[in-house]
Structure 1
Amino acid sequence: MAISKKDQIVQGALTAFAQNGYSETTMDTIAEAAQVAKGTLYYHFTTKEELFLYVIEKGVKMLIDSVENVMNNEQLSLADRMISVLDEHLRFFSENRELCFLLLSFFTGDENRDQMMARHLADYFLMMEKHMTVLQQQGYIKAEVEVRTIASAMFGMVGFTVLRKQFRKEPVDISTSRETLRHMLEGILQTNN
């Protein structure tokens, strides 16, 4: 199935923003990266900011959907869902390197744009906190652990682990990284459930 022009533009924009940052990326740069004419680009997106926010919104929605699919998988026990969320984060960030970079370095220098990005990421954190609260209420996460910190730590520890490996040109989803991150995560889980 052929990729739509809009999706082609979004992928090109993601690449351009990740490589150049927001300030240094131009609509010309995006058109070149997406391999589309400038008229096609402007037909779909009238400004760089509109396109940037669309890229972020779409990327965060993809992350939310992928994690929610795991958390809603009733074939897994609740405890296994928590560990599977770690694996899903590793998979998602390793397959979406440029998005991972943008989400972890989202400050663009414009307060309104940064607040908009923070609102999109807030949707992700609220979803994670909701699922983790259920796990905590059912005794799978230690009662003394603060759920908001867990959600932030999960995002950061996986995201930065993946990013560092990518910058060093190392394989991302290797068993050593996965096991180390799993051991860290297991420290917050109740052992008697």
Structure 2
Amino acid sequence: MFMRKSKMSLIFQAAIDVFSEKGFDKATMDDIAARANVAKGTIYYHFKSKEELFLFLVEEGVEVLRDGVESKLMPELSPTEKLELIVREQINFFGQYRDFCVILLRETWGGEERQLEFRKMIRSYMYLIEQVIQQGIEAGEFHPVNAENAGSGIFGMIAISALHILLGQNAYDEEALFQDMKRMVFSGVVK
């Protein structure tokens, strides 16, 4: 999938598969080890617990999302073009990494500790959106809104819409979802 350390890529992919299929609570380290075709001790060598493995998986995924979007946000783009790019890239990411999207959005609202960790991880990505919103406000392209609220709202709107499609019976049509999200984001943000 999107592992940076190839040594653990089997464990990482197995964890994504198992968490996606069974959910965090029903998944076991035995399930993940069997899916990865490694000894359970190999997993425990890298991760102290299922929770630690789960949080690592989420952190890696969010980092890939953020890095992918950030690498395309060229300074010469207008704030409106940057925001459009963010909307498209997030939709494409969720389409490309469907199982990760399901895990991220379905499972991260578990215990209080997990919620706090998740918010820290996703904050770096939402900060990118906030910066673009702030640039748009300063350039006079966007209405004056609270950039933090707008950033989390845009992320959430896209994420929940993607999850709804991924968990439903409809095909994940990235272009149709992009057009709908773009229309909603720009009708409320762009002058």
Residue identity matched to 1:167? L
Structure 1: any 5+ residue segments left out of the alignment?
Answer: none
- The answer for the alignment partner of 1:39 in structure 2 is 41
CA-atom RMSD in angstroms:
2.0
Aligned pair in 2 of structure 1 residues 174, 129: CA closer, same or farther (>3 Å)?
Answer: closer
Contact 1:18 1:102 in 2 (8 A): yes
Is 2:172 the counterpart of 1:167? no
> What does residue range 97-136 of structure 1 map to in structure 2 within 5 Å?
97-105=98-106, 106-109=108-111, 111-136=112-137
Cα distance in structure 2, aligned partners of 1:119 and 1:22: 19
Deviations 1:17-59 (A, max 9, x none): 2222222111101112223232332232232122111111111
Cα distance in structure 2, aligned partners of 1:159 and 1:67: 15
Contact 2:69 2:86 in 1 (8 A): yes
Cα distance in structure 1, aligned partners of 2:132 and 2:79: 10
Contact 2:130 2:148 in 1 (8 A): yes
Is 2:185 the counterpart of 1:185? yes
Structure 2: any 5+ residue segments left out of the alignment?
Answer: none
Contact 1:18 1:99 in 2 (8 A): yes
> What does residue range 1-12 of structure 1 map to in structure 2 within 5 Å?
4-12=6-14
Contact 1:91 1:173 in 2 (8 A): no
How far residue 170 of structure 1 moved from its aligned partner, in angstroms, is 2.7
How far residue 66 of structure 1 moved from its aligned partner, in angstroms, is 1.8
What is the percentage of aligned positions where both structures have the same residue?
A: 31
TM-score, normalised with respect to structure 2 = 0.86
Cα distance in structure 2, aligned partners of 1:132 and 1:115: 24
Cα distance in structure 1, aligned partners of 2:54 and 2:65: 17
Aligned pair in 2 of structure 1 residues 56, 190: CA closer, same or farther (>3 Å)?
Answer: closer
Question: Is the partner of 2:142 in helix, strand or coil?
Answer: coil
How far residue 91 of structure 1 moved from its aligned partner, in angstroms, is 0.3
Is 2:71 the counterpart of 1:69? yes
Q: Quick check: 171-180 or 28-37, which moved more?
A: 171-180
Aligned pair in 2 of structure 1 residues 14, 160: CA closer, same or farther (>3 Å)?
Answer: same
Cα distance in structure 2, aligned partners of 1:125 and 1:77: 18
How far residue 94 of structure 1 moved from its aligned partner, in angstroms, is 0.9
Contact 2:14 2:36 in 1 (8 A): yes
Cα distance in structure 2, aligned partners of 1:97 and 1:44: 25
